[in-house]
Amino acid sequence: MSWLTPNRRIGLLLAGAIFALDQFVKWLMLGPLALRDREVIELLPFFDLRWTQNFGVSLGMFTANSVETRWILVGVTALIALAVFIWMMREKAMWDIAALSLVLGGALGNIRDRYTYGYVIDYADFHIGTFRPFLIFNVADAAITIGVVIILARSFFLREKPSNTETDETGSSPAET
């Protein structure tokens, strides 16, 4: 299995770990902490656990108002997760694989919620007084966001530089000088 390089194996393990952590924390919210019944657990002056059922996707967009739209969202997000998995299996650089595995693990966690409950369980409420710089989120959302930020940063700051053998600053190739 030459396609399953050590870096890709690590990426799959990381995606699995993110999925497992996300599901474990959601189990804590539903089970031992009974957050659904309590609605809010104040932890710090700037961070609470707050029960939220997210029927939409990113930023609450594309809300699933019916059983049909719920399954459409499950299908579309599963296709996106499949595309991320294929992309991850084609990458070689560990940073790219790690970023994609964060996205994949988070996506799988949220897909499982939507499949199981019909909504995604969100609970992490970061706030400064009444100001909330983020919507209420979960481990999966945080992993997806961090993965996307890494992918964007690498694409903006680590672009391949053109080789000096093509042209110099005057526009002529080295063979012409």
Q: Of these residues, 96, 113, 122, 125, which one is catalytic?
A: 122
The CA distance from 121 to 90, in Å, is 31
141 catalytic residue (yes or no): yes
Q: Of these residues, 22, 96, 125, 141, which one is catalytic?
A: 141
> Exposed, middle or buried by CB within 10 Å (0-12, 13-18, 19+), for 114?
buried
Is it the case that residue 134 has pLDDT exceeding 90? Answer: no
pLDDT digits (tens, 9 = 90+) for 90-111: 999 999 999 999 999 999 999 9
Confidence band for 177, pLDDT divided at 50, 70 and 90: very low
DSSP conformational letter for 97: H
The overall pTM is greater than 0.85: no
